A = this chain, B = another copy of it.
Amino acid sequence: MPLSKIYKLHFSSNRRYVKALKNMLGFVPGNLHLYHLAFRHKSVAVPVKDGVKNSNERLEFLGDAVLGSVVAELLFKKYPYKGEGFLTEMRSKIVSRAHLNQLSKKLGLNELIQYDTRMISYPNKQGSLLGDAFEALIGAIYLDKGYVFTKNFLINRIIKPHVDIQTLEQTETNFKSRLIEWCQQAGKEVSFVQTENAEGDSVKIFTIDAVVDGEVCGTGRDYNKKSAEKIAAEKACETLNVL
């Protein structure tokens, strides 16, 4: 191990944080600033310039793209005789918010994410906090270590040990019908209710609540009603642990 890594792990003022990251990720991070940023939810971020906050949202944008590319190649090579429709669907399943939230929990990212607990107090309401941080982490690793390193990390440390691709092949991804079916079996009532937009929202945006037995279990927002319902259903599935 190079001296700089030994210093970082054992003598630097950040050594606890570096050790926590090393245990979680399997490598010694280079630029710690990137990892701090990846774990900073917008609820605790402060504006830096032109109204942009130092939250993990920009890294999430980057990490989402890098993840999409790595998974695309993995599937392209794993399934040489499957059409692009199948590949696209499989990728959606692997990178779905519900699935990334699960992965995030398995990795233990929840220990490191900084967020305002007053805003997000109930664990089930953490929504996509975990999955977002996972994508932001991928963005941070990419900037810190480059594409090939990130690809190997994702394949060997995340996908091979934690993602059961064979099972995902069989999984139904229609969250709305999955939620409705689950509610029928559990004797619960489910409905999708359009709510008013918050002030300042574009009039084009639809906001839909998935309501189960009178309680809002997921909210979706999108430019069309169907997609907003889909997001609401996905979030409700997550809240209720419908798999």
Known contacts: A62-B72, A62-B73, A88-B61. The answer to whether A82 contacts B224 by CB under 8 A is: no
**A97 vs chain B, min Cβ distance (A):** 15
Q: Count contacts on A: residues with CB < 8 A to the other chain.
A: 36
Among the listed stretches A52-60, A100-108, A193-201, A207-215, which one makes contact with chain B, having 4 or more residues with CB under 8 Å of it? A52-60
Question: In chain B, what residue has the closest Cβ to A72?
Answer: B65
Chain B residues within 8 Å of A50, by CB: 81-82
Q: Does A68 sit within 8 A of B, measured CB to CB? A: yes
Are A81 and B49 interface neighbours, CB within 8 A? yes
Q: How far in angstroms is the closest Cβ of chain B from A80?
A: 8
- Judge whether B72 and A66 touch: CB under 8 Å: yes
Within the oligomer, what is the number of copies of this chain?
A: 2
**Is the beta-carbon distance between B58 and A83 smaller than 8 angstroms?**
yes
A81 to B50: give the CA distance in the assembly, Å. Answer: 7
Q: Mark A114-144, 1 if CB is under 8 A from B, else 0.
A: 0000000000000000000000000100100
A147 to chain B: closest residue by CB:
B147
Chain B contacts of A239 at CB under 8 A? none
Task: Answer whether A84 and B57 are a contact pair too, CB < 8 Å, given A147-B148, A224-B224, A226-B224.
Answer: yes
In the assembled complex, which residues on chain B have CB atoms less than 8 Å from the CB atom of A62?
Answer: 72-73, 76
**Contact (Cβ within 8 A) B61 A65:** no
A87 at interface (Cβ–Cβ under 8 A)?
A: yes
A205 to chain B, nearest CB (A): 12
**1/0 contact string of A63-79 vs chain B (CB within 8 Å):** 01110110111001000
Q: Residues 14-49 of chain A: 1 if any B CB is under 8 Å from the residue's CB, otherwise 0?
A: 000000000000000000000000000000000011
Query: What B residues does A147 contact at CB under 8 A?
Result: 147-148, 151
Q: Is A223 an interface residue (CB 8 A)?
A: yes
Task: Please name the residue on chain B nearest to A225 by beta carbon.
Answer: B224
Contacts of A51 in B (CB 8 A): 83
Q: Tell me the minimal C-beta distance from A52 to chain B in angstroms.
A: 5
Cβ contact of A76, chosen from B58, B81, B87, B226, cutoff 8 A: B58
- Complex Cα distance A24/B82, Å? 30
